[in-house]
Amino acid sequence: MFGLDTLGKAVNQLVNSFETNVRQGQQHLETLLGDAGVMDDAKLSTLTEMSDAYRTMAEDLLLHPLRFAGAELDLARKHMALGYYTLARLVGKDKQPVAEPEPDDRRFQAEDWHRHLPFDVLHQAYLINSRAFLNWVDDMEGVPQAGRDQMLFYGRQLTSLLSPANFPATNPEVLRITWERKGMNLVDGGRQLIEDLRQNPSLFNVGMTDRSAFEVGRNLATTPGKVVFQNELMQLIQYSPTTETVSKRPLLIVPPWINKYYILDLTARNSFIQWLVNQGQTVFIISWRNPGPSFRNKGWDDYMQLGPLAAMDAVTEATGEERMNVIGYCIGGTLLGSTLAWLKKKQRNPVVSATYLATLLDFSDPGGIGVFINDHSIRGIERMLERKGYLDGRAMAFTFNPLRENELFWSFWTNNYLKGQKPAAFDLLYWNTDGTNLPAKMHSFYLREMYLNNRLVEPDSLTLAGETINLSAIDVPSFFLSARQDHIAKWKSTYKGALAHGGDVRFVLSGSGHIAGVINPPYKEKYGYWTNDTLVPDADNWFEDSEHHPGSWWPHWLEWIARFSGGDVPARIPGEGAVPVIENAPGSYVRVKAADAAKC
């Protein structure tokens, strides 16, 4: 016993010494490569986090050999079962597969994977091995949840990379297509790969849609309107009415600036903005500028003052109404909550109701992106921000895509480059690739003070434009809309934000995810939503007592906001108020691409 105990201590000391030396070496390497410009600091930090995760897995093998041996024994049993399955198929017997893909895993749905025995066995072996590996990682002892999530994330990236669907020689669909097209699929795929590399020379993102099929102002963002105000950070669009009368109180929308506003105005049938106009709302929306390095010192305060606060003043000037309803989406909702708390401190009350769409106010559980949220990663991002002055909008897509890597990367890799198929024309994916840059000061503040330190929900912990803010002091009636499958703003996290918000709060849960759960027009009759007028401390208890409704949440919200409409007035025409028309919607700011903005 003494010998084993001594050996265990020696192994632990060896591992700790190894960890210390590796970390010191990593820090020196990051500084050296970053200063030399070989790779930006954000990428270096990610590579370090990835290597740390893999090293921790290797250390677990050394420190817990019995647990690993048990996992190996279970894996051997499954492979033995796969051997019996193979023999059964060879003699023409039907047998239930040993491993089957998850219902939402589309990599092995084609009949080629099941018809031909070698590929049937290959994909089942892959599923057995990848699941065994991820289960082993998940069962590691003494690992904090944040570290476990990070290891599972990087473990999943490794297993997804090694899928036989990703390589021509092990994908029966690709082999069949290559035979039928005499290899031209690989030629076409090579051309597409070169074009995608040309489009993103320093930040490769796989092509998701036919970019030539869309143009903002031609078949996207086409709801008629006028730009009636602008400053250095945003343009304000007022939309033309389609009804004879409109609600007295105007409606201002604060969209996210991580992507462009026209997610709310894709095509006419799916446009939330067009639907609002058709319901008799006087709609204004902020169109954020795509910033470059000259905007490096624009912070959260600037976005508040030059964004919603400036827009509220312009809406009042354009309509003569001093009070209005406001909607915030995603980070736009986070800014809206900050702004309302600041206005409360200033004893100003221009907002009569607030609607939060898929918005985080409490960042204690930030969802899938949490794997990138730690002090080391953020310091790497901040070093990169200091050098460049901004975060490239294309890097945001690269960050979010691995959260659903098989759906948002490898499926396109296989279809585009191996099968030689041109991406379909899909408006939502075009929007997803039309990124916006983020100023250095603002993005550093957002990551560190909200994601890392979660200070927004701490009363008087944050100071904006000279005032400490307190979300619980807000007394504006609010409507929180979250999406059940949202992996960016997890619904239970947004529920915590609703609890931190003062005033009369209504929480509604939609089906689907961060985009489809919000952009869900009534004609589709999809997803449904859940309501419960009583907010309780626990989100699960709220859901258990909630009522499910079919269809879109939009009409339900319209009934709620009718209480704050102030009656009806004759329809307002953009430019007929006190503010002149600057240009037609969708304006010029939204047309600027991230790569072009980076030159300014």
Spell out the SS3 assignment of 72-122: HHHHHHHHHHHHHHHHHHHCCCCCCCCCCCCCCCCCCCCCHHHHCHHHHHH
Which of 133, 207, 208, 121 minimizes the C-alpha distance to 164?
Answer: 121
Q: How far apart are CA 517 and CA 520, in angstroms?
A: 6
293 exposure class (CB count in 10 Å sphere: 0-12, 13-18, 19+): middle
Residues 44, 142: one domain? Answer: yes
Q: How far apart are CA 14 and CA 311, in angstroms?
A: 60
* Per-residue pLDDT, 183: 96
Please tell me the number of Cα atoms within 13 Å of 144 on its side-chain side: 4
Give the helix/strand (H/E) hosting 228: strand 225-230
| Residues recognised as catalytic | 330
Does residue 11 have a pLDDT over 70?
A: no
Residues 3, 50: one domain? Answer: no
Residues 6+ away with beta carbon under 8 Å from 450? 334, 360, 363, 456
Q: How far apart are CA 546 and CA 508, in angstroms?
A: 9
* Per-residue pLDDT, 29: 44
Q: How many structural domains is the chain composed of? A: 3
Q: How far apart are CA 252 and CA 261, in angstroms?
A: 13
Amino acid letter for position 301: D
What does the block give as tokens for 17? 């010494």
User: In this structure, is residue 388 part of a structural domain?
Assistant: no
Backbone dihedral angles phi then psi of residue 295, each to the nearest 5 degrees: -100, 15
Over residues 532-553, the pLDDT tens digits come to: 999 999 999 999 999 999 999 9
Over residues 231-257, the pLDDT tens digits come to: 999 999 999 999 999 999 999 999 999
Q: At what angle do helices 65-90 and 41-63 cross, to 10 degrees?
A: 90
DSSP string computed for 338-360: HHHHHHHHTT---EEEEEEES--
What does the block give as tokens for 173? 């669909």
What does the block give as tokens for 397? 């897509």
Residues 490, 528: one domain? Answer: yes
DSSP helix/strand/coil, 193: helix
Q: What is the DSSP letter of 598?
A: T
User: In this structure, is residue 82 part of a structural domain?
Assistant: yes
Residues 22, 80: one domain? Answer: no
User: In this structure, is residue 321 part of a structural domain?
Assistant: yes
Give the helix/strand (H/E) hosting 229: strand 225-230
Q: How confident is the model at residue 503 (pLDDT cuts 50, 70, 90)?
A: very high
Residues 6+ away with beta carbon under 8 Å from 318? 228, 229, 238, 250, 284, 572, 574, 577, 578, 579
User: In this structure, is residue 452 part of a structural domain?
Assistant: yes
User: In this structure, is residue 487 part of a structural domain?
Assistant: yes
* Per-residue pLDDT, 222: 96
User: In this structure, is residue 417 part of a structural domain?
Assistant: no
Over residues 189-240, the pLDDT tens digits come to: 999 999 888 877 666 778 888 888 999 999 999 999 999 999 999 999 999 9
* Per-residue pLDDT, 94: 85
- CATH label of the domain that carries residue 306: 3.40.50.1820
* Per-residue pLDDT, 540: 97
40-67 residues labelled b (16+ CB within 10 A) or e (exposed): bbbbbbbbbbbebbebbbebbeebbeee
Q: How confident is the model at residue 30 (pLDDT cuts 50, 70, 90)?
A: very low
* Per-residue pLDDT, 13: 53
User: In this structure, is residue 526 part of a structural domain?
Assistant: yes
Over residues 404-433, the pLDDT tens digits come to: 888 889 999 999 999 999 998 889 889 988
* Per-residue pLDDT, 72: 83
Which of 339, 379, 385 minimizes the C-alpha distance to 359?
Answer: 339
Q: How confident is the model at residue 45 (pLDDT cuts 50, 70, 90)?
A: low
Positive/negative CA dihedral, 329, 509, 397, 32: positive
Residues 18, 90: one domain? Answer: no
Over residues 425-477, the pLDDT tens digits come to: 889 889 988 889 999 999 999 999 999 999 999 999 999 999 999 999 999 99
Residues 74, 106: one domain? Answer: yes
* Per-residue pLDDT, 316: 97
* Per-residue pLDDT, 380: 86
- Determine the Cα angle at 275 with ends 274 and 280, to 5°: 95
Neighbours of 381 (CB within 10 A): 25
Residues 172, 249: one domain? Answer: no
* Per-residue pLDDT, 414: 96
Neighbours of 187 (CB within 10 A): 12
User: In this structure, is residue 204 part of a structural domain?
Assistant: no
Q: How far apart are CA 370 and CA 558, in angstroms?
A: 34
Q: How confident is the model at residue 70 (pLDDT cuts 50, 70, 90)?
A: confident
Domain that holds residue 19: 1-35
Which of 117, 108, 111, 106 minimizes the C-alpha distance to 82?
Answer: 117
- What predicted TM-score, i.e. pTM, was given to this entire model? 0.87
Amino acid letter for position 221: A
Q: What is the DSSP letter of 314?
A: H
Does residue 52 have a pLDDT over 50?
A: yes
Residues 274, 126: one domain? Answer: no
Residues 331, 478: one domain? Answer: yes
Give the helix/strand (H/E) hosting 165: none
* Per-residue pLDDT, 202: 65
Over residues 326-370, the pLDDT tens digits come to: 999 999 999 999 999 999 999 999 999 999 999 999 999 987 777
Residues 87, 22: one domain? Answer: no
Q: How far apart are CA 384 and CA 33, in angstroms?
A: 12
Residues 76, 98: one domain? Answer: yes
On whether the CB atoms of residues 568 and 246 are closer than 8 A, the answer is: yes
Residues 84, 28: one domain? Answer: no
Q: Where among 180, 215, 236 does a domain terminate?
A: 180
What does the block give as tokens for 118? 């070698």
What does the block give as tokens for 161? 């990379």
Mean pLDDT of 175-188: 96
Q: Where are the alpha helices (DSSP H) in 110-237?
A: 112-115, 117-138, 145-161, 172-180, 184-199
* Per-residue pLDDT, 1: 42
Q: How far apart are CA 283 and CA 324, in angstroms?
A: 10
What mean pLDDT value characterizes the chain? Answer: 89
Mean pLDDT of 92-100: 91
What does the block give as tokens for 228? 């009636």
Which of 441, 326, 337, 449 minimizes the C-alpha distance to 388?
Answer: 441
Over residues 128-167, the pLDDT tens digits come to: 999 998 998 888 777 777 777 888 888 899 999 999 999 9
On whether the CB atoms of residues 519 and 357 are closer than 8 A, the answer is: no
Residues 6+ away with beta carbon under 8 Å from 534? 542, 545
Does residue 6 have a pLDDT over 80?
A: no
pLDDT > 70 in the chain, percent: 88
- How distant is the alpha carbon of residue 183 from its chain centre? 37
Q: How far apart are CA 558 and CA 3, in angstroms?
A: 73
pLDDT > 90 in the chain, percent: 69
* Per-residue pLDDT, 581: 96
Backbone dihedral angles phi then psi of residue 253, each to the nearest 5 degrees: -110, 130
